[in-house]
Amino acid sequence: MPKIDDLLKIVKEASASDLHLGAGSVPMIRQNGVPAKPQAELVEA
């Protein structure tokens, strides 16, 4: 499970506008108004 700092870094690097978190769910980001999964290797680290 990634730490919040790591997730926020992913959001910044992806120029995403949102970070969506939910218990038992994969973290999602919003890029250009579209929900997207961040790169798997970054989230699973």
pLDDT in tens, 19-37: 999 999 989 999 999 999 8
Cα–Cα distance, 45 to 39 (Å, whole number): 11
Query: Hey, where are the domains in the chain?
Result: 4-43
Strand 28-31 relative to strand 34-36, pairing: antiparallel
Cα–Cα distance, 16 to 39 (Å, whole number): 13
In this predicted structure, what is the pLDDT of residue 43?
A: 54
The pTM of the full predicted model, rounded to 2 decimals, is 0.73
